[in-house]
């Protein structure tokens, strides 16, 4: 076994039906349903204009500034996959540009999460494939390796395993583990229902705000006397 330069098969991936259900939910509510303990960090920003990212992870660990294994991952990707690359967050050299983006679209890739940089930023906005990256640079990549495909990776403490669900919207990127996906979906749907009721109460002027003063009193906040 060669650690650091290897390509592994992906044993499992979240099913398309689950991906479709999550795609309709805000990432913020999914995050709340995971106790707000998981995030890829604010450095990963949206490089496309608009739209939601959702799909099973095809993971890549790459040497900073080198995209050989990213090229191979695009060759391997199944339609609907999200390619997630940990390249150490280095912004010196880009990991991909317009040509790789066009090829990925042709392959049916659902999007990218890159802990590294892109170039040809205007093309990413025009094509509008969901892509999150740590930055932009005009300097191109190297193609020498090493790297790994379909191994567990981590971005800013968020662990992504091959086949995990990867989500992204205007609020950022989130990974949901394969084993927890159904439970997180149920919790998020329940939160959505509760928020819909709360929004209706706000519109009707019947929203109960008593919890605010109750929390302040419980925490010992000094407050003006009533009356």
Task: Supply 78's token pair.
Answer: 């199944």
What whole-number distance in Å separates Cα of residue 165 and Cα of residue 58? Answer: 10
Residue with tokens 């509510």: 29
What whole-number distance in Å separates Cα of residue 56 and Cα of residue 178? Answer: 9
β-strands 45-46, 153-155 pairing:
unpaired
99 annotated as belonging to a binding site for a ligand: yes
119 annotated as belonging to a binding site for a ligand: yes
- Yes or no: say if 207 and 201 are a contact pair by the CB < 8 Å rule: yes
53 annotated as belonging to a binding site for a ligand: no
Q: How far is residue 79 from each of residues 25, 147, 222, measured CA to CA in Å?
A: 21, 23, 58
Query: Which of 24, 74, 42, 41 is CA-nearest to residue 160?
Result: 41
97 annotated as belonging to a binding site for a ligand: yes
- Yes or no: say if 21 and 86 are a contact pair by the CB < 8 Å rule: no
Give me the half-sphere count of Cα atoms (radius 13 Å) on the Cβ side of residue 23: 16
β-bridge partners, 114: 85, 133
Binding site residues for substrate, as ranges? 97-100, 119
The binding site comprises 97-100, 119-120
Q: Which residues are annotated as a binding site for Mg(2+)?
A: 120
């Amino acid at each position: 076994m060669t650690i650091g330069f290897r390509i592994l098969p992906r044993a499992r991936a979240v099913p398309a039906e689950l991906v479709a259900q999550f795609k309709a939910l805000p990432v913020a509510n999914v995050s709340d349903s995971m106790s707000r303990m998981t995030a890829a960090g604010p450095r990963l920003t949206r490089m496309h204009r608009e739209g939601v990212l959702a799909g099973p992870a095809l993971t890549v660990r790459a040497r900073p500034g080198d995209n050989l294994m990213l090229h191979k991952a695009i060759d391997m990707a199944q339609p609907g996959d999200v390619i997630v690359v940990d390249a150490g967050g280095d912004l010196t050299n880009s990991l991909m540009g317009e040509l790789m983006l066009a090829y990925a679209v042709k392959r049916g890739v659902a999007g990218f999460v890159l802990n590294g940089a892109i170039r040809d930023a205007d093309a990413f906005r025009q094509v509008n494939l969901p892509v999150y990256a740590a930055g932009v640079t005009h300097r191109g990549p190297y193609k020498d390796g090493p790297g790994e495909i379909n191994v567990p990776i981590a971005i800013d403490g968020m662990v992504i395993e091959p086949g995990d669900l990867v989500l992204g919207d205007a609020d950022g990127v989130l990974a949901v583990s394969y084993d927890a996906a159904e439970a997180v979906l149920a919790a998020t749907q329940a939160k959505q229902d509760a928020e819909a009721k709360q929004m209706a109460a706000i519109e009707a002027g019947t929203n109960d705000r008593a919890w605010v003063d109750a929390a302040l009193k419980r925490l010992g906040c000094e407050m003006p006397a009533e009356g």
